[in-house]
Amino acid sequence: MIAKRRSKIHGWGVYATGTIPKNTRIIHYAGEKISNQESLRRERRYIRTNHIWCFKLTSRTVIDAGVGGNDARFINHSCRPNCYIEIKGGVIWIRAARTIRKGEELTYHYHTDGEGLIMCRCRPGCQTLL
Ligand SMILES: C[S@@+](CC[C@H](N)C(=O)[O-])C[C@H]1O[C@@H](n2cnc3c(N)ncnc32)[C@H](O)[C@@H]1O
Ligand SMILES: [Zn+2]
């Protein structure tokens, strides 16, 4: 259903290898479950390498895909994404927001509450800071 390839947005991305129907649970965001505090420590390190791997699970916990992550960690952000997030039973699901065609890059909205240090490259002229 999906494959990791080089992306026009940034580094690696994840692409549909066939049609994905709307609302399909495509992949879950795997990684180590850590506390908010530990996440802040790690993110400071990650931001220097220009990679954010931490995904907020609850107000107190974060999934760090830098440890034990799967291909979901290569899904890039878009301000006009074709996927959305569903958090259910402690699992972060990436689901299709609409029918996704073969060859399209998968994206979701990061909704980062970070420091806004990365200029978004989701499309030419995007001025958003991630
Ligand atoms: C979870 S990784 C996504 C995979 C990444 N492309 C890679 O090759 O490792 C998140 C990082 O990708 C980059 N990224 C994701 N979406 C982006 C976007 N729309 N514009 C610019 N950089 C983006 C940022 O550096 C971000 O910290
Ligand atoms: Zn953007």
- Would the CB of 120 count as within 6 Å of ligand 1? yes
Contact yes or no for 92/28 (Cβ under 8 A): yes
118 within some domain:
no
Atom 4 in ligand 1: which residue has the minimum CA distance?
A: 74
- Would the CB of 52 count as within 6 Å of ligand 1? yes
120 within some domain:
no
Residue 52 pLDDT = 79
If one counts every other C-beta atom within 10 angstroms of the C-beta of residue 114, the result is 15
69 within some domain:
yes
Distance (Å, rounded) from C-alpha 34 to C-alpha 10? 26
- Would the CB of 118 count as within 6 Å of ligand 1? yes
How many domains does the chain fold into? 1
Atom 13 in ligand 1: which residue has the minimum CA distance?
A: 10
98 within some domain:
yes
Average pLDDT over residues 46-73: 91
Residue 91 pLDDT = 97
Q: Which of 7-16, 45-54, 117-126 has the lowest mean pLDDT?
A: 45-54
Compute, in angstroms, the gap from residue 125 CA to the centroid of ligand 2: 8
124 within some domain:
no
Average pLDDT over residues 87-106: 97
Structure tokens given for 35: 């506390």
Structure tokens given for 109: 């909205």
- Would the CB of 77 count as within 6 Å of ligand 1? yes
Verdict on whether the full-model pTM lies above 0.85: yes
Distance (Å, rounded) from C-alpha 99 to C-alpha 102? 10
122 within some domain:
no
> Does 72 have pLDDT greater than 70?
yes
| Number of Cα atoms under 13 Å in the Cβ half of residue 55 | 29
10 within some domain:
yes
33 within some domain:
yes
CATH number reported for the structural domain that contains residue 19 in this entry: 2.170.270.10
Q: Mapped to the 3 state alphabet, what secondary structure does 49-117 carry?
A: CCCCCEEECCCCEEEECCCCCCHHHHCEECCCCCEEEEEECCEEEEEECCCECCCCECEECCCCCCCCC
Give the domain range for residue 52: 2-108
pLDDT band at 48 (very low <50, low <70, confident <90, very high): confident
pLDDT band at 130 (very low <50, low <70, confident <90, very high): confident
Report the nearest atom of ligand 1 relative to the CA of 51.
27
pLDDT band at 115 (very low <50, low <70, confident <90, very high): low
- DSSP label at residue 9: S
- Would the CB of 76 count as within 6 Å of ligand 1? yes
